[in-house]
Amino acid sequence: MENAAQEKQTHVTIQGAQQSISPDSVGEAIGNQESSVPLLHRNKRWLLMALFSVLVLFGQSAATLLGRLYYEKGGNSKWLSAFIQGAGFPILLPFLYNTKDRKNNSSEQTKTPSPLVLGSIYMVLGTLLAAVGMLFSVGLLYLPVSTFSLISATQLGFNALFSFFVNSQKFTPLIVNSLVLLTTSSALLVLQNDDSSGSSKSYKGKYAIGFICTLLAAALFSLILSLSQLAINKILKRQTVKELLDFLIYQSLVASCILLVGLFASGEWRTLSAEMNKFELGKASYTMTLLWIAVCWQIFSIGMVGLILKVSSLFANVISTLGLPIVPILAVFIFKEKMSGVKAVAMLLAIWGFMSYIYQHYLDDLVSKSGKKDVDSKEISLIQN
């Protein structure tokens, strides 16, 4: 009798459990789990994007202003200015040493590229980075920092072009509008005349050299970003913190070695001692200025590669362009530069172009979210059936 009663009770319990675990309840539970996990993932993604964006804006603005301060107060070595842009990579070594290379199933199945392939990637990107550093140094020497920053904004247009061919980035009307506005902004700067600097032939010649070098540097930097995205997504594939640090350190090492050879080959190293003694702010300030330039450029590099890893090279370039209004405005107060009408119009056009692209990215994000919701609802309906 007791066994029969226990069997009946067990049967009732199982039947009640089966009734409670209905297809609707399973679908609801899975739906809640599926909705909460993507929400947490999206929030984490946006937080990382915000962090990397702050690093880009702070690093770029501070490094550009300090670079101009170096020239304003008596610095004159273009090779040293270029070298210091990538020479701060040793500060990343402790982070690389303390970073554990976590492996999961997907990463274990991914084949690690051969040393020859990795070496080729770092050599190519490092050489291009050295060229960009030298071109930027010449541009910053011969141009007011506000003009330099506005011309540098053209890298967004170059990056959109390279992303179209290298990364299969699609052109939309908003992106085309952004490119046209940025191109117009830079074209206006060709016509602008800085009365405070005179209209002598030597000044016009230096202005032309600075303009061309800055424009070429913007184009090469955009190419580096597109090639970096291609290398990370198609060759390295393992998008981990260690891979990010390796990517930064090795290409910076190559660029630093090339520029260090140039510094000694050009003979500029012989004038560095006298340059330090004549620096208007003193020897200690001379050293600290160069040190913080190196640190700020590494902060900028971490932010840029992080944005490439999380979003795209084009978005990383857009965020760097967001610093466009910051540097010219600060230059007016720090270096007493004049904000002419042409510069103001060029800056407004560039900001308009930036906002046009940001709105396009917002639309793309909405489409991506709606697509994910459709996929999740289909999976839930299949489980319920």
**For residues 65 and 75, what is the distance between their CA atoms, to the nearest angstrom?**
14
**Which stretches of the chain are DSSP H helices?**
2-20, 23-72, 78-86, 93-98, 105-109, 115-142, 145-152, 155-166, 173-191, 201-230, 241-266, 272-278, 283-310, 313-322, 326-334, 341-384
- Give residue 99's pLDDT band: very low, low, confident or very high (50, 70, 90): low
Residue 348 has pLDDT above 60, yes or no: yes
End-to-end Cα separation, the chain, in angstroms = 41
- Stretch 135-152: mean pLDDT: 88
What does the CA dihedral 140, 86, 320, 300 come to, rounded to 10 degrees? -130
Q: What is the pLDDT of residue 236?
A: 77
Question: What Å distances lie between residue 3 and 13, 15, 17, 117, CA to CA?
Answer: 15, 18, 21, 72
Q: How far is CA 213 from the centre of its chain?
A: 21
CA distance 186 to 230: 28
75-89, 148-162, 301-315: which has the highest mean pLDDT? 75-89
Position with higher pLDDT, 256 vs 146: 256
pLDDT digit string, tens, across residues 218-268: 999 889 988 888 887 788 776 677 777 888 899 999 999 999 999 999 999
- Please give the pLDDT value at position 126: 94
Q: Could you report the per-residue pLDDT of 314-339, keeping only the tens digit for each?
A: 677 778 777 766 787 788 778 777 77
Asked if the model's pLDDT at residue 197 lies above 60, the reply is: no
Q: What is the 3-state secondary structure (H, E, C) of 266-327?
A: HCHHHHHHHHHHHCCCCHHHHHHHHHHHHHHHHHHHHHHHHHHHHCCHHHHHHHHHHCCCHH
CA separation for the pair 347, 35 (Å, rounded)? 42
